[in-house]
Amino acid sequence: MPEARTETIILNMGPQHPSTHGVLRLVLELEGEVILGATPVIGYLHTGFEKEMEHRTYHQNIVFPARIEYLATFVEETAYVLAVEKLLGVTPPPRAQAARVILSELSRIASHLVALGSSAIDLNVTSLFLYCLQDREEILDILEMVSGQRMMHGFLRIGGMQWDLPEGFEARVRALMDRLPARIDEYDRLLTDNLIWRRRTEGIAVLSAQDALRYGCTGPMLRGSGVAYDVRKAFPYSGYDQYDFDVPVRWNGDAFDRYLVRLEEMRQSRRIITQALDRLPGGPWIVDDRKVALPPRAELTRSMEAVIHQFKLVSEGLHPPPGEVYAAVESPRGEKGYYLVSDGSNRPARVRVRSGSFNNLQALPVMIHRGTVADVVVAIASIDIVLGDVDR
């Protein structure tokens, strides 16, 4: 009897493919419908942000983080300013810290809504995508009210914020937070009780806790696999240790569990926002240190010293002491960290952006091994990558 010959075929998926959520190319080795090997090819969105940031002052660099990862904009800005503040040894006033928490959590909800909607549309649940984007738009309206921009805010400052939270902000956020639980419950019912959704996500794209740790996965990827690591709890920043919230964890490590973790995280973000609004402190929104923050406008007409400080900050910028720091935040896509090296001049000697998406995407071949091509779409959606964040 002749031996049965099997041939594998190489299939190129992407870079122009709607389910890759950006520009990602996957080289799949297939035997029939079964995946034997997968090689992600990245770099299509590489824009050299790290190099650009070495050529600008610390203050000018504030605009970059939100452009690297454009779904959770305030989380990104917080990560960068925290790193510079750590380098300088500056602590922002309580009001700025609480405002950063509120804005970050609003960004997190907005980002998780996109993750939820886009993973639903990949499995042809089109209506949910539209509901999610409608809610996200309400959040972006609030962020625009605060900063003047829907997405690329450039609103946070080293040592605080550009200006105070606007009038009517609290009422508007509270109104949204009152509506939100019913909306999230509706999405929960729409997907969790949906037989097709469950069959397509349960037991699909499984990542074991061991693999998640070996690959350095963070965020919902890690917590969906049973490891309760959240930067907000482990290394608290911006006063997160004062708020009462839970870190949702699931144990199966499949696409369904990651979806449930994100859903629960939105509810927890709402809890944090309401607590932060309840005890939003008054007072200044930026540090009163003339070597770090610009002097108030009114002072410029009266004080020569203020004019000199203004001139020095605008024409040269900050001079942090030589050294290196790493500041991390919990972004919707895992640990987002900025590693800054200062040589004492007015520009960073090295800016390293540690992105959650990069490490999470690296585990994709493990997740889809011996799965089918159709499951690749589910796997990519459940990682919730931002390709701009992967390629930087």
Partner 1 sequence: MIGPAARAAQVVEQFGPEARVVAFRDEVTLVVPGARALDALRLLHEAPGGPPVLTDLTAVDRHPVAPRFEVVYLLTWYAPPERLRVRAVVEGDPPTVASVTGLWAGADWLEREVYDMFGIRFTGHPRLTRILMPDDWEGHPLRKDFPLTEEPVEFLGHTPRTPSEIVPRTPPRP
User: Could you list the residues that contact partner 1 (CB under 8 A)?
Assistant: 42-43, 46, 48, 50-52, 54-57, 60, 86-87, 89, 211, 213-217, 227, 229, 234-235, 315-317, 319, 322-326, 328, 335, 337, 339, 341, 343-347, 349-350, 352, 354, 358-359, 362-363, 391-392
| Least distance (Å) between residue 33 CB and partner 1 | 27
Our CB check for partner 1 shows the closer of 87 and 115 to be: 87
- Nearer Cβ to partner 1, position 98 or 340? 340
Which of 89, 87, 63 has its CA nearest to residue 76? 63
Q: How far is the CB of 324 from partner 1 (least distance, A)?
A: 7
Question: What contacts 24+ positions apart, CB below 8 Å, involve 228-237?
Answer: 230/330, 231/328, 231/329, 231/330, 231/335, 232/329, 232/330, 235/328, 237/78, 237/82, 237/327, 237/328, 237/329
- For the bound state, the minimum distance from the C-beta of residue 211 to partner 1, rounded and expressed in Å, comes to 8
Instruction: Give whichever of 17 and 352 is closer to partner 1, judged by the CB atom.
Output: 352
Nearer to partner 1 among residue 181 and residue 323 (C-beta):
323
State how far the alpha carbon of 162 is from the alpha carbons of 17, 96, 111, 124, in Å: 39, 10, 23, 42
CB of 23 to partner 1, least distance (A): 12
Residues 6+ apart with CB under 8 A from 155: 74, 77, 103, 146, 147, 148, 149, 161, 162
Nearer to partner 1, 296 or 323 (CB): 323
Alpha-carbon distance 375 to 177, whole Å?
35
Least CB distance from residue 339 to partner 1, whole Å?
A: 6
* Cβ at position 264, least distance to partner 1 in Å: 20
> Would you say 258 or 392 has its CB closer to partner 1?
392
Give the length of the chain. 392
> With contact defined as beta carbons under 8 Å apart, do 392 and 80 qualify?
no
Instruction: Confirm if 146 and 169 have CB atoms less than 8 A apart.
Output: yes
**C-alpha to C-alpha distance for 375 and 63, rounded to whole angstroms:** 37
Nearest distance, CB of residue 248 and partner 1, angstroms: 16
60 versus 252: smaller Cβ distance to partner 1: 60
